[in-house]
Amino acid sequence: MRTNLTKEIREHLKRSADGLTIKNLALFTKRDAGSVSKQLKSMPDTYIDRWIGPFRGQYSAIWCIVVPPSNCPHPKDK
C-alpha cells in the first residue's frame, strides 16, 4: 500500500465536506485515476456517498471519508 497516496487522499477528502470524484482526486494528487481508485477501494474509512450524472451515459461516484467525532472514545478505553 502506498502510504503517501493514502495520506494525500485522506487529506483531500477531509478538506472537501461534499466529497470528491476519482477524477478530482487524481488531479489533486497528480496520480493515475486507476491508482487512486484502487487505493480508495482498499481504504476502510472511505465510502461512496452518492452518484452524479449521467455524463455521456456514465455516472461518477462521489467519495467521502469517515471522520470520527473528537469525543469518540477509543475502543481500548474502558
Q: What's the pTM?
A: 0.84
Give the domain ranges of the chain: 3-65
Instruction: Give the pLDDT of residue 72.
Output: 86
The tally of CA atoms less than 13 A away on the side-chain side of residue 17 is: 0
Instruction: Give the pLDDT of residue 2.
Output: 53
DSSP of 8-49: HHHHHHHH-TT-B-HHHHHHHHTS-HHHHHHHHHH-TTEEEE
Length in residues, the chain: 78
Q: Which CATH entry fits the domain spanning 3-65: 3.30.200.20, 1.10.10.10, 2.102.10.10, 3.90.850.10?
A: 1.10.10.10
pLDDT values of the chain reduced to their tens digit, one per residue, 78 residues: 457 999 999 999 999 999 999 999 999 999 999 999 999 999 999 999 999 999 999 999 999 999 888 898 888 866
Instruction: Give the pLDDT of residue 78.
Output: 62
Residues in CB range of 51: below 8 A, 6 or more apart? 59, 60, 61, 62
